[in-house]
Structure 1
Amino acid sequence: MKLWIAFLFLSLTLQAQTNFYEISFDNAVHHEAVVQVTFPHIKSNTLRVRMSRSSPGRYAIHEFAKNVYGLKATNGAGELLEVKRDDPYSWIISNTDGTIKVEYTLFANRGGGTYSQVDGTHAHLNMPATFMYAKDLQERPIKITFNAREDLGWKVATQLKHEEGTTFYAPNLYYFMDSPTEISNFKEREFEVDGQTVKFILHDPGTEAEFDEYWEKVQKIVLEEKAVFGELPNYDYGTYAFLACYMPNVSGDGMEHRNSTILTDTETLANGGMTGNIGTVSHEYFHSWNVERIRPADLEPFHFDKANMSNSLWFAEGFTSYYTNLILERAGIISAEDYVKSLNGTFNYVWNSPALQYFNPIEMSNQAPFVDAATSVDPVNRENMFISYYSYGSVLGLALDLSLREKSLNLDDFMQLMWKRFGKTEVAYTVEDIENTLADYAGNAFAQNFFSNYIYDSKMPDYEKLLASAGLKLSRATEKPYFGATFAETSNGLEIARNTFKGSPAYKAELDKGDVITAVDGIEMTSNEAFNQLLDSKNIDDMLEVSFLRFGNELKTTVRLSADPTYSISLDEKANKEAVKFREAWLAKK
């Protein structure tokens, strides 16, 4: 009897210290949701509640408070409470009887991995963009009820633990904030892998047959990525959920979370998404190992009130990007030839970037708060001083994999070692930990050489030699001359649409973004086609007389054409048997 009383007392205590959320969508057509939050058992004189400024998986600041209005706070008796503000992101609420209830209206109309969207088709919720929180109560469990629109056939899909009906549970604030939710009339598929469930939630106007075809690809990806690490992660409630929304009203995005991922795109399965969206599936699912559990130490704990900077995104995002298309090839979703072709864009972007002289991969990772869906109105010089850590890390992952394979090792086994040391144990890692693990796997000299040249410095590996070892050929893509500017057609001529690349002919001739080229060698420039035809008639080192407008003034300059810096990576039809065998082992299904 005494044990029963103690258990009841504990249950009531936990219930009293659980924060309760509720959200309704009566005015969904105008993108509004009404949120109610109850904070019970408050002992302080006031409680500060906040809207987040950042979101798990994103690294930039996002001012979610801007979409909150109509806020009011009441106590347990329903009496209005005093609310004060001393910054744009939080509300300070007086406490009178230990219970504080907050209600507000949220405007939400961007469906993706960062923001929320509410309309007649769905409620697509990213939690930090939707729900207020109290930092002082972040270890409390949370229960939330989604008042889904039954008249629209809406159902609820989320990684949150299901309680009953449309009520779900999170053990603490971080898990709650890391649990995006799709509420719509979706379709669903699932399969069992080693005693755990992998499910795919699809909000898409297409047919069941289209979903079946896509789902078959998804299952292959899951199994191929499992093969890299040797096992699935231990999902907290035994389930991993892909939350896919392929609708014309959303924004293209993908965002990883601990036991789920958001996948959004305007391309439906019937309108290009069958092939166009599958790469995001591969990328985001790989994150359930690499970044969610093989976790950078500088992202722990995650801060909801400021930007989160990491030194390791070249590994967390970049190596994941390297595997994205490699997994598609191993799963038979794309051909080996198509995979090799897919290397070209990323390779040329990194190889030819002037930014290599400014920042190494660690420092490029540090730039994430300024580029990861960050917003600003002042012009920036990204073309010349930034390389995406996704792309930079991807080509370094390629180089490391091929270098290891020359030693009869491979990147798969190295990633599996990182998983066993830092992912499965969930011990956060540093850049030094990656280097030390590589040293243990491939030797001190190998690790020191790779990190000193390519991670702590911004040198480029010998890709020609590495690619040749895998039966691939690196060669000039064209012998045509190169000008070095991107144009937008205008009524006055060709306007330079982006910053010219440092060292390019256009840059050396002091042409800049916004200049409008009116004529070249006396020939009027009215279209990109006209410019390309003229360029095709020229040779490397030819001099061009360029007339252009700048700030309304007519000016002239001389441009010396150079060789096009673009390279091509392709299958080498003349590769020897050893190189072909090397390539087949690299690209083979695990």
Structure 2
Amino acid sequence: MRFLLLILLFCFQSIQLSAQTNNYSISFDNAVHHEAVISATFKDISTDTLTLRMSRTSPGRYALHEFAKNVYNFTAFDSKGNSLKITRENPYEWKVSGHDGQVNIKYTLFANRGDGTYSQIDETHAHLNIPATFMYAPTLNERPIDVNFSIREDLGWKVATQLPHVKGNTYSAPNLYYFMDSPTELSNHKVREINIDGQTVKFALHDPGTEDEADTYFEKVKKVVIAEKEVFGALPKFDYGLYTFLACYIPNASGDGMEHRNSTILTSTRTLANGGMEGNIGTVSHEFFHSWNVERIRPKTLEPFNFEEANMSGELWFAEGFTSYYTNLILCRVGLISPEKYVEGLTGTFNYVWNSPARQFFNPIEMSYQAPFVDAATSVDPVNRENTFISYYSYGSVLGLALDLSLREKGLNLDDYMKHVWKTYGKTEKPYTIENLNQSLNQYAGEEFGHNFFNNYIHKSDMPKYNELFSSVGIVLSQDDNAAYFGAAVSITDDLNGKIQSNTKIGSPAYKAGLDKDDVITSINGKPFPNGIQFEAFVKKFKPNDMLSVTYLSDGQEKNTEVILESDPSYAISLQEKNGDKLSKKVLKERKDWLKIE
């Protein structure tokens, strides 16, 4: 009898669960004009009014994107097909009332940006970022979801997604959050797979190239996946045992990468045959590293992710920045870029961070707070980002480099620190704070070391002793004190004058001389603006402390000023042996251990 009751209870719960599943369908008959038609059914509604929303944010992004702007033709009906009352109180919501316990909706979506944030629909593919595509009911966020993709069979489309497969072209999600975190690619794509430790890593490639090109590229992807697994010691436990790369390398896409729990979006205008074979693999490295760092090693400030407001986190220097540090390091470790190219490639990011006046205003935590203003955010009013902001990607990257080399001086390394954080906060999926990261470094490397790093470089904006750190692995950091520096980006106008393209850098010669963005230099030292030569090259003909008499137009008015040139603050980074110096066995071993080279 008890067994029968259990069976009946199970059947009842199954029926209830089925009745309370939110059902979506999406079709693409007018894909040529970038439209999809989306329908949804919400059953067993207990309140008179059901509120439906389009998200304002997207997992992995931190700014607002207002996806509701691309929705139209919205209608709502009850279970009998009767029209329901629709009320709009703000731009993101539709309030539907007067139903009979069921609400059926239908709307048209316009979508024409293929990247990690938006959706793109055309006759090459339906590239769907879920928050940019599907409305949702906030009060029903714990319900399971079924979605049917009515694919264009005439175009050879098939489905690639992290969503669990139900049957046919129907897929499911256990709740709203998982659904919103599950981008989907419908296209005539190629598929490659590898099994690692009982889990499947799948690569869905939408690219016009050959099968051989796909094979060659996937070999690179596999190398990256395996090398990043070695950093943490194991793959994450992917839900449903599957991780999916969704790669769109097509001319009508927009370059981007966006991580998700069990998948990632990779988009580029470069096809594999047109530079993508080398140019796109860095995004693979960055985004897959996120399956540990940010998806499971997760900042507490991003939990739960808010689909209605901007998400602010002070940990992005670690979540994004340390991931950026490993991006090219991994490519070097697996032989996809040479040690020389890797080391010299550090130069641009290094100069951008350490020569920025922004460090006087914000530390790395506060730079991370700026994400809602800069992470694919849009605005029309001028800003002073050149002087007040350093990307947390770049800032965190050079701090990750400094921490790694500092740890190696103690016989430790960043890989093992990342393993420690992974075991404490990633495998357990316990969201962390900045203090937790500090404590973890204390535990791994000692309190004095841990507090010193966080107090000086995270809570403040001091610069680590890179000269010493670089020399330990046979790298030379240098500056040319005899090279002249002007301090403004100048381009040639149609009438062959020089226009300042961006805000002049605080403290630079141009800034001190009162020059500003959009000023047009007409003459220097009584001679017309020099044409036929890059302005930086022209400046290098002079010496520090030389004075330039500059005539320029500011808002149409002719003005004169004097610019006193200074020494170029830029750094050069190179391998020690490139300068003719021989590496000691100790230094050579340190470099090999760092870069994992034979």
TM-score above 0.5: yes
The whole-number CA distance in structure 1 between the counterparts of 2:50 and 2:20 is: 14
1:517 pairs with 2:557 = no
Deviation at 1:533, TM superposition (A): 5.3
Please list, as runs of the form range in 1=range in 2, the aligned pairs for 1:111-260 lying within 5 A after superposition: 111-260=114-263
SS of the residue corresponding to residue 275 of structure 1 reads helix
Which of 510, 516, 540 is the equivalent residue of 2:544? Answer: 540
Which of 365, 370, 374 is the equivalent residue of 1:367? Answer: 370
Which of 560, 563, 569 is the equivalent residue of 2:564? Answer: 560
**Alignment partner, residue 290 of structure 1:** 293
**Alignment partner, residue 581 of structure 1:** 589
The whole-number CA distance in structure 2 between the counterparts of 1:96 and 1:205 is: 48
What letter corresponds to residue 73 of structure 1 in structure 2?
A: A
**Alignment partner, residue 13 of structure 1:** 16
Please list, as runs of the form range in 1=range in 2, the aligned pairs for 1:477-488 lying within 5 A after superposition: 479-488=482-491
**Alignment partner, residue 63 of structure 1:** 66
Identity of aligned residues (%): 64
The whole-number CA distance in structure 2 between the counterparts of 1:478 and 1:24 is: 63
**Alignment partner, residue 113 of structure 2:** 110
The answer (yes or no) to whether the contact 2:491–2:535 under 8 Å persists in 1 is no
**Alignment partner, residue 436 of structure 2:** 433
1:53 pairs with 2:61 = no
The whole-number CA distance in structure 1 between the counterparts of 2:410 and 2:152 is: 59
What letter corresponds to residue 585 of structure 2 in structure 1?
A: K
The answer (yes or no) to whether the contact 1:480–1:539 under 8 Å persists in 2 is yes
The answer (yes or no) to whether the contact 1:518–1:526 under 8 Å persists in 2 is no
Please list, as runs of the form range in 1=range in 2, the aligned pairs for 1:27-38 lying within 5 A after superposition: 27-38=30-41
The whole-number CA distance in structure 2 between the counterparts of 1:555 and 1:237 is: 67
The answer (yes or no) to whether the contact 2:490–2:535 under 8 Å persists in 1 is no
CA deviations 1:158-197 (Å, max 9, x no partner) are 0000001110010000000000000000001001000000
The 1:282–1:477 alpha-carbon spacing in structure 2 relative to 1, beyond 3 Å, is: farther
**Alignment partner, residue 551 of structure 1:** 555
The whole-number CA distance in structure 1 between the counterparts of 2:482 and 2:31 is: 56
SS of the residue corresponding to residue 109 of structure 1 reads coil
5+ residue gaps, structure 1: none
The whole-number CA distance in structure 2 between the counterparts of 1:426 and 1:436 is: 17
The whole-number CA distance in structure 2 between the counterparts of 1:528 and 1:476 is: 27
| Stretch deviating more after TM superposition (180-189 or 527-536) | 527-536
SS of the residue corresponding to residue 317 of structure 1 reads helix
The whole-number CA distance in structure 1 between the counterparts of 2:532 and 2:119 is: 39
What letter corresponds to residue 360 of structure 1 in structure 2?
A: N
**Alignment partner, residue 494 of structure 1:** 498
Deviation at 1:470, TM superposition (A): 1.1
**Alignment partner, residue 405 of structure 1:** 408
SS of the residue corresponding to residue 237 of structure 1 reads helix
1:276 pairs with 2:276 = no
The whole-number CA distance in structure 1 between the counterparts of 2:191 and 2:13 is: 38
1:321 pairs with 2:329 = no
The answer (yes or no) to whether the contact 1:82–1:93 under 8 Å persists in 2 is yes
What letter corresponds to residue 361 of structure 2 in structure 1?
A: Y
Please list, as runs of the form range in 1=range in 2, the aligned pairs for 1:437-452 lying within 5 A after superposition: 437-452=440-455
SS of the residue corresponding to residue 450 of structure 1 reads helix
Deviation at 1:212, TM superposition (A): 0.9
The answer (yes or no) to whether the contact 2:243–2:263 under 8 Å persists in 1 is yes
The whole-number CA distance in structure 2 between the counterparts of 1:353 and 1:42 is: 55
**Alignment partner, residue 387 of structure 2:** 384
The 1:40–1:589 alpha-carbon spacing in structure 2 relative to 1, beyond 3 Å, is: farther
**Alignment partner, residue 264 of structure 1:** 267
SS of the residue corresponding to residue 470 of structure 2 reads helix
What letter corresponds to residue 431 of structure 1 in structure 2?
A: I
CA deviations 1:480-527 (Å, max 9, x no partner) are 211111123212411101111111111111100010011111221264
The answer (yes or no) to whether the contact 1:481–1:539 under 8 Å persists in 2 is yes
CA deviations 1:120-169 (Å, max 9, x no partner) are 10000000000000110000000000001000000010000000111001
SS of the residue corresponding to residue 239 of structure 2 reads coil
**Alignment partner, residue 26 of structure 1:** 29
SS of the residue corresponding to residue 326 of structure 2 reads helix
**Alignment partner, residue 507 of structure 2:** 503
The whole-number CA distance in structure 1 between the counterparts of 2:480 and 2:152 is: 55
Deviation at 1:478, TM superposition (A): 7.4
The whole-number CA distance in structure 2 between the counterparts of 1:267 and 1:511 is: 38
| Stretch deviating more after TM superposition (472-481 or 558-567) | 472-481
Deviation at 1:433, TM superposition (A): 0.2
The whole-number CA distance in structure 2 between the counterparts of 1:517 and 1:479 is: 25
What letter corresponds to residue 159 of structure 2 in structure 1?
A: V
SS of the residue corresponding to residue 529 of structure 1 reads coil
The whole-number CA distance in structure 2 between the counterparts of 1:72 and 1:130 is: 16
The whole-number CA distance in structure 2 between the counterparts of 1:108 and 1:79 is: 29
Deviation at 1:373, TM superposition (A): 0.2
SS of the residue corresponding to residue 6 of structure 1 reads helix
Deviation at 1:528, TM superposition (A): 6.4
What letter corresponds to residue 553 of structure 1 in structure 2?
A: Q
The answer (yes or no) to whether the contact 1:525–1:531 under 8 Å persists in 2 is no
**Alignment partner, residue 356 of structure 1:** 359
The answer (yes or no) to whether the contact 1:494–1:528 under 8 Å persists in 2 is no
The answer (yes or no) to whether the contact 2:56–2:65 under 8 Å persists in 1 is yes
The whole-number CA distance in structure 2 between the counterparts of 1:4 and 1:175 is: 29
5+ residue gaps, structure 2: none
What letter corresponds to residue 586 of structure 2 in structure 1?
A: E
SS of the residue corresponding to residue 500 of structure 1 reads coil
The answer (yes or no) to whether the contact 2:52–2:135 under 8 Å persists in 1 is yes
Deviation at 1:563, TM superposition (A): 1.1
The whole-number CA distance in structure 2 between the counterparts of 1:556 and 1:426 is: 61
Aligned pairs, number: 590
The whole-number CA distance in structure 1 between the counterparts of 2:530 and 2:589 is: 51
The 1:514–1:188 alpha-carbon spacing in structure 2 relative to 1, beyond 3 Å, is: same
The whole-number CA distance in structure 1 between the counterparts of 2:532 and 2:395 is: 30
The answer (yes or no) to whether the contact 2:530–2:538 under 8 Å persists in 1 is no
Deviation at 1:530, TM superposition (A): 6.0
Deviation at 1:291, TM superposition (A): 0.2
The whole-number CA distance in structure 2 between the counterparts of 1:228 and 1:352 is: 31
CA deviations 1:7-65 (Å, max 9, x no partner) are 22111100111000100000000000001111111010100000000000000011100
Deviation at 1:4, TM superposition (A): 3.4
SS of the residue corresponding to residue 267 of structure 2 reads strand
The 1:418–1:532 alpha-carbon spacing in structure 2 relative to 1, beyond 3 Å, is: closer
Under a length normalisation based on structure 2, what TM-score does the superposition of the two structures give?
Answer: 0.97
